[in-house]
Amino acid sequence: MQKKNLFVSHKASRAIPFASTLTRDFLVQATLDGDIRRIEYQSSVIIDERIAPVEGIVVERFDGRYAVDLVDTRPANGSAVEALTQLAFARGCHGIIEVKAEDLRTEPLCSAAREVWSHHAVRVHADDRAEIREALQIGGPVGLAQLIGSVDTRGDARAVVFALACEGTVEFDLRDGITDDLIVRSGYAGSSVGLRAYGA
């Protein structure tokens, strides 16, 4: 039996089990993606009065709710597609998004997301959180280097910003990687002081 780890995100109401690096990369990127507001997980669905495993992930984006088909982690048999289709129907999804390994490994996004997520367990002092949030409230969205240079934090300011991104207090678009002019903005979960994301 394949060992499963648990991934915990501020965008999910419960821990999401995963067995592959690809699934973990998807969950990390979805957690850090400002366009995704919620991540849901369902282990099984009912098809013709029988329970079928689905290991299904559903994301709620700005343009609707979608079931996620991680193509390269899908079992070879055709029942997985049927189960995912049933999940999408049961959850009122607008459709199914196919995500391939090459999509998740696109650079510099993949490395940038992994780098940011490596700070998910960093404990952020309340004063540091308040300092970053106040800087963004006063100055609005700002480049990473400018933000780091404008705050006085107890911990390393860059690590603090990355940890805050993991918990949703700040957001940025990592598709072009981590650069000095990476725009940092207040996050969707920014009003939830102390909300933490942790997990594998």
pLDDT, tens digit (0-9, with 9 covering 90-100), for 153-193: 998 999 999 999 999 999 999 999 999 999 999 997 543 43
83 and 13 assigned to the same domain: yes
Domain closes at, from 38, 71, 104: 104
99 and 181 assigned to the same domain: no
- Looking at the structure of the chain, the number of domains it has is 2
Is residue 114, in this structure, part of any structural domain at all? Answer: no
CB–CB of 59/38 below 8 Å? Answer: yes
19 and 90 assigned to the same domain: yes
pLDDT single digits (tens) 60-102: 999 999 999 999 988 766 678 889 999 999 899 999 999 999 9
**Terminal CA-to-CA distance of the chain, rounded, Å?**
19
Is residue 18, in this structure, part of any structural domain at all? Answer: yes
Q: Please compute the mean of the pLDDT values over residues 46-71 and round it to a whole number.
A: 90
Query: Looking at residue 11, what is its pLDDT?
Result: 96
9 and 76 assigned to the same domain: yes
User: What domain range is 77 assigned to?
Assistant: 5-104
pLDDT single digits (tens) 113-160: 999 999 999 999 999 999 999 999 998 899 999 999 999 999 899 999
Query: Looking at residue 75, what is its pLDDT?
Result: 74
26 and 67 assigned to the same domain: yes
Share of the chain above pLDDT 70, in %: 91
Alpha carbon distances (Å) from 65 to 78, 81, 91, 100: 23, 18, 8, 19
Query: Looking at residue 45, what is its pLDDT?
Result: 87
**Which residues have C-beta within 8 Å of that of residue 89, sequence separation ≥ 6?**
none
Query: Looking at residue 20, what is its pLDDT?
Result: 92
Is residue 200, in this structure, part of any structural domain at all? Answer: no
**pTM given for the model:** 0.89
Query: Looking at residue 3, what is its pLDDT?
Result: 67
CATH, residue 127 = 1.10.10
